[in-house]
């Protein structure tokens, strides 16, 4: 849910939030981030580990960065997001405190309080910023919406029991139910 707004917020406001307060800044609006659930964290951690193990095994040079980690998709002073998992293959985008530009693959584990942002606002942001692949994992519905923003844009929905192939790593197959 958006935090009370009386003005447009900027990067300065985002970076000066009180210690321990997490929020995302989207189009000048601050959105408070509640602590994640156990299931959210289990999915996020297990998926991060699986992808990182795949990258390590294949001697890849992409980085898997779990939240909290700030992403500034397009140098916009009014938008800073914290995807649950960012896979970044261009290491020149990574600094100690942020990703400057679009990650290659973004994964969000949605909750009732973040669904509208994950399925609408962030989908639009990621698609237009150059993210190549976007997954929305819904633990309540036990499904995964997968978007590919390559030459041919596609969208598919999978259950937790389906084997899902990544577009970024076309021989990486993930079955969410195996991670729980």
The per-residue pLDDT for range 50-95, each reduced to its tens digit, is: 999 999 999 999 999 999 999 999 878 889 999 999 999 999 999 9
For residue 122, what are the contacts with CB-CB under 8 A and spacing of at least 6?
A: 26, 81, 83, 106, 108, 134
Average of pLDDT values for 136-163?
Answer: 95
| Strand pairing report for 23-26 and 85-88 | unpaired
Name all contacts of 51-54 with Cβ < 8 Å and 24+ positions apart. Answer: 51/85, 51/87, 51/169, 51/172, 51/174, 54/169, 54/172
Using a cut of 0.85, tell me whether the model's pTM lies above it: yes
Please give the pLDDT value at position 62.
97
pLDDT of residue 74: 82
Q: Are strands 98-100 and 23-26 parallel, antiparallel or unpaired?
A: unpaired
User: For residue 168, what are the contacts with CB-CB under 8 A and spacing of at least 6?
Assistant: 87, 89, 104, 105, 132, 133
- Count CA atoms within 13 Å of residue 66 on its CB side: 15
The answer to whether the CB of 136 falls within 8 A of the CB of 164 is no
């Amino acid at each position: 849910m958006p935090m009370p707004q009386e003005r447009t917020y900027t990067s300065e406001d985002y970076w000066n939030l009180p210690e321990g307060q997490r929020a995302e800044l989207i189009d000048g609006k601050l959105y408070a981030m509640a602590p994640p659930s156990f299931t959210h964290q289990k999915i996020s951690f297990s998926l991060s580990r699986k992808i990182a193990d795949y990258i390590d095994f294949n001697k890849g040079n992409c980085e898997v960065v779990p939240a909290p980690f700030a992403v500034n998709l397009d140098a916009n002073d009014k938008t800073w997001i914290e995807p649950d998992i960012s896979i970044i293959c261009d290491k020149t985008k990574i600094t100690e405190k942020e990703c400057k530009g679009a990650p290659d693959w973004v994964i969000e584990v949605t909750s009732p309080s973040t669904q509208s942002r994950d399925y609408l606002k962030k989908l639009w942001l990621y698609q237009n910023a150059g993210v190549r692949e976007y997954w929305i994992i819904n633990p309540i519905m036990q499904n995964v919406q997968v978007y590919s923003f390559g030459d041919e844009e596609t969208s598919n929905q999978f259950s937790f029991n389906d084997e899902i192939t990544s577009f970024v790593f076309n021989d990486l197959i993930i079955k969410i139910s195996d991670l729980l």
